[in-house]
Amino acid sequence: MSRIASIPDPTLIAANERVFPLTQLREGSRARVVSTAKCCEDCDLLNAMGLTEHCELRVCQRGSTCIVQVNQTRLGLSSEVAGKILVSDVIGE
Amino acid sequence: MTAGGTSTATTVAIGGHDDPRVHAPAKCFALIGNPNTGKTTLFNRLCGLRAKTANFPGSTVEARIGTLAHHHRTLHVVDLPGMYGLHLDRPESRICKRYLEGTVDFGEVPDGILIVIDATNVQRNLVLAAQALSVGKPAVVALNMIDLADRRGIKVDDAQLSQRLGCPVVRICARSGVGVHELLQRMELAGSASPANSFPDTGDVKTITAWARDVSSACVTTDKSAETRAERTTDRVDGVLTHPIWGMGVFLLVMMALFYVIFTVASFPMDMIEYLFTKLGTGVDSLMMWTDSVTGWGMSGGAIHDLLIDGVIGGVAGTLVFLPQICLLFFLISLLEDTGYLARAAFLMDRLLRKFGLPGQAFVPLLSGHACAIPAMMSTRLIADHRDRLATILVIPFMSCSARLPVYVLLISMLFEGKPWLAGLAFVGCYALGAIAALLTAKMLRKSILKGPKPAMVLELPTYKWPSLRTALLTTYDRAMMFLRKAGTVIMCICIIMWWLGAYPKTSQPPAEAVQMREQAETIAQSDAAKADELRDEADRLEARWQKRNSFAGMLGRGVEPAIKPIGMDWQLGVGVMSSFAAREVFASTMSVLLAGSEDTEDSAVVQRIKSATRDDGSRLFTTRTAASVLVFYVLAMQCLATLAVTRRETGSWWWALLQLIYMTVVAYCASWITYVGLGWFGAT
């Protein structure tokens, strides 16, 4: 997994913390969202649906479309959107 | 203020808004909440049938307005569309924000806000709640689905929540009615004071989300083991229902069951409607004949007789006949949506439809188009994005509806007589051609006039739950009433106009051949009664053909003949095409009357006469090339004015309906021409 250069909010990332797209997470993994800014026009909607920076998510299903759980909200995302969501800190599987 | 943590099952006694006991000034509440929070279930619980749906002025965003009386006060409730935030760049968010602020006129000005919060998902729901409370109107929060939250081990301290929000919080279960009585009391007592608390900048997502997280962690406690169990179950069910193979299998089964019910169950009430209206027509006919015999007014057989029986009764029947399919489709879709399955189906189909610029939610409306385009178009309201919805509405009529079946049967039986396998393939080909045309058109629309940001799939997959029969029935009732009010009147007018074009002007002189036959029948009536009857029947057929030929529709058919000649049609087929604008299946009966003098398209003798019909120059009318060309034309043409009326209603503009008509006619014409000319190159007659 490669480190992503353009991170909108550097305060979210601790030193040596790896940041990568959501699509690289395995099924069942938990992670913290670092940025949704790359999602452009979908960013506000994602945020309003609960997928915001700092929030913790769990990957329920992955593939060309994926399902993630944020708190009690289950979201279906296209790989296009999931690929633009940057996450870090794999919390557990 | 707090509603306390206890609730009892209460039957809500609600009187009509004209209840004489009601004398306190009426109050209006805007009902707001995230999607899938049980907002509509609550609205239905409060208002039941005393509700109507209306669009916000100048937009396609709609809201339901209901009325109820509680104790001595009338309460109006405006059910706003479900949304995730008031500050989102979405039509429903923009218009609802303006409505809450009182800057858009929608009849009822809200005195207060009723906010629905899903007790199983408090944190996310708090964002919209804070945005709504910031408007500064008195508010009451309904903490819904407490039963589900209990089962999932989620405890919400409503007293604490009420304190943090600065307004009453009432624990309810809209489905069972628990807590609704108390909610109504809170709504009635809600004063003119704004919420006691101030909120952080609700327009800034980061700030408001942090606030929601803080409030949620203070008010909500979760039993992790119960939550994990529920999550695991949902994971397992999702694993099947959204699986590329198993999920698709389940989806196909569900869709097959849906359409089996729509085709089979709806056919009974549809037949009943047709039967009852035929009986009504016969009854009116008999009544007029009786009136004639008593008064000598000569009404039967006159213009008023024809207008009443063929125009008005036929028009009402032509409108009501759509109702069973509309009701069934909406009832089943509502049940599926309530279970949480429909969102999974949209998630599954998104992969396929996205390639053609359509969202996954478009699949059910497109498939419904195979039953009837009218309910299918009405069901596009599931699609949130305006461009996606418009593209879906514009391509739905390409899907072969049940009204095309009689036309396909007639033409395919001519093309492949005695070849059932080829006939079957031709049927499949017709359905496939329509579907391909729909998908390619959608792709083209999304790349041209409907070009714009394509919202990538971000879809909430709601919690699985048992569907509410009450909600499904009320949704069905609402949609049926809306169809009758808005589209039904236009459809009825169209039916009357199409009848008039086909029935007028009345020909004063019957054809000479028919006169001769009748004279001959009279001569031999005594000696050969059977032959005389045969001659009279033939004379009737000739007169019916003569009437059709000289009607306005016949004139139009002759008028368009030069334009339709390149695709193999003559004026007779032109009349068929013109008259079938009322409904596609009318083509088969028109051709039967015109070419065989009988409306019975199931009579094999009639079908044989149609097959051997000739043009004015004596050549055969239905050659292979012509039959194939007409078939392709009917697969692709927008031959249904009722559908156009619904396009106008759903898009809010005649422009889209006109574009749909012109585009589909051009596509159908070009495809028919290619078929006609192409078959000629291959040596077909």
pLDDT digits (tens, 9 = 90+) for B15-54: 344 444 456 778 899 999 998 898 989 999 998 877 777 7
pLDDT of B487: 62
> How does the average pLDDT of chain B come out, rounded?
83
Tell me, what DSSP letter sits at residue B158?
H
pLDDT of A8: 47
The widest CA-to-CA distance across chain B, in whole angstroms, is 102
Q: B145 with B173: CB under 8 angstroms?
A: yes
pLDDT of B173: 94
Does the predicted interface ipTM exceed a cut of 0.90? no
pLDDT per residue over B616-671, tens digit each? 777 888 899 999 999 999 999 987 888 888 898 888 889 999 999 999 999 999 99
> Most B CBs within 10 Å: which of A51, A72, A78, as the mutation test of the B interface?
A72
Query: From the list B88, B120, B459, which residue is nearest A48 (CB)?
Result: B88
- B3 confidence band (pLDDT: 50, 70, 90): very low
CA angle, corner B56, sides to B51 and B57, nearest 5?
130
The widest CA-to-CA distance across chain A, in whole angstroms, is 32
- Average pLDDT score over residue span B256-284: 83
pLDDT of B20: 47
Closest residue of chain A to B37, computed from CA coordinates: A73
Task: Give the B-side interface with A, CB within 8 Å.
Answer: 84-85, 87-90, 118, 120-121, 123-124, 127-128, 154, 205-206, 209-210, 231, 234-235, 238-239, 242, 244, 343-344, 347, 350-351, 354, 453, 455-463
Which residues are B221's β-sheet partners?
A: B155
Give A 39-58 residues with CB within 8 A of chain B.
41-42, 44-50, 52-55
Closest residue of chain B to A75, computed from CA coordinates: B460
Q: Which residues of B touch A68 (CB under 8 A)?
A: none
B244 and A52: CB-CB below 8 Å?
A: no
- Average pLDDT score over residue span B107-130: 91
pLDDT of B610: 77
Q: Which residues of B touch A34 (CB under 8 A)?
A: none
pLDDT of B10: 34
Rounded to an integer, what distance in angstroms lies between the CA atom of residue B67 and that of residue B75? 6
Q: Which residues of A touch B241 (CB under 8 A)?
A: none
> How does the average pLDDT of chain A come out, rounded?
79
Beta strand B51-55 pairing with B62-70: antiparallel
Q: B498 with B582: CB under 8 angstroms?
A: yes
A78 and B120: CB-CB below 8 Å?
A: no
Give the sign of the dihedral formed by CA B81, CA B84, CA B85, CA B91. Answer: negative
- A14 confidence band (pLDDT: 50, 70, 90): low
Determine contact: A93 vs chain B, CB below 8 A: no
- Which of B236-240, B280-284, B316-320 has the highest mean predicted lDDT (pLDDT)? B236-240
Closest CA to B28 of B152, B111, B86: B111
Q: Which residues of B touch A67 (CB under 8 A)?
A: 238, 242, 347, 461
A47 and B205: CB-CB below 8 Å?
A: yes
Angle formed by the axes of helices B654-681 and B386-395, nearest 10°: 40
Q: Which residues of A touch B121 (CB under 8 A)?
A: 50, 71-73
From A15's Cα to the closest Cα of chain B, the distance in A is 23
B121 and A73: CB-CB below 8 Å?
A: yes
In the three-class reduction of DSSP (H, G, I as helix; E, B as strand; rest coil), residue B399 is classed as coil
Tell me, what DSSP letter sits at residue B652?
T
pLDDT at B170 over 90: yes
Angle formed by the axes of helices B641-651 and B386-395, nearest 10°: 180
A65 and B234: CB-CB below 8 Å?
A: no
A71 and B121: CB-CB below 8 Å?
A: yes
The number of residues in chain A equals 93
Can the peptide bond before residue B505 be classed as cis, meaning omega within 30 degrees of 0? yes
Q: B366 with B392: CB under 8 angstroms?
A: yes
* Low-confidence winner among A26-30, B496-500, B524-528, B567-571 (lowest mean pLDDT): B496-500
Rounded to an integer, what distance in angstroms lies between the CA atom of residue B242 and that of residue B347? 7
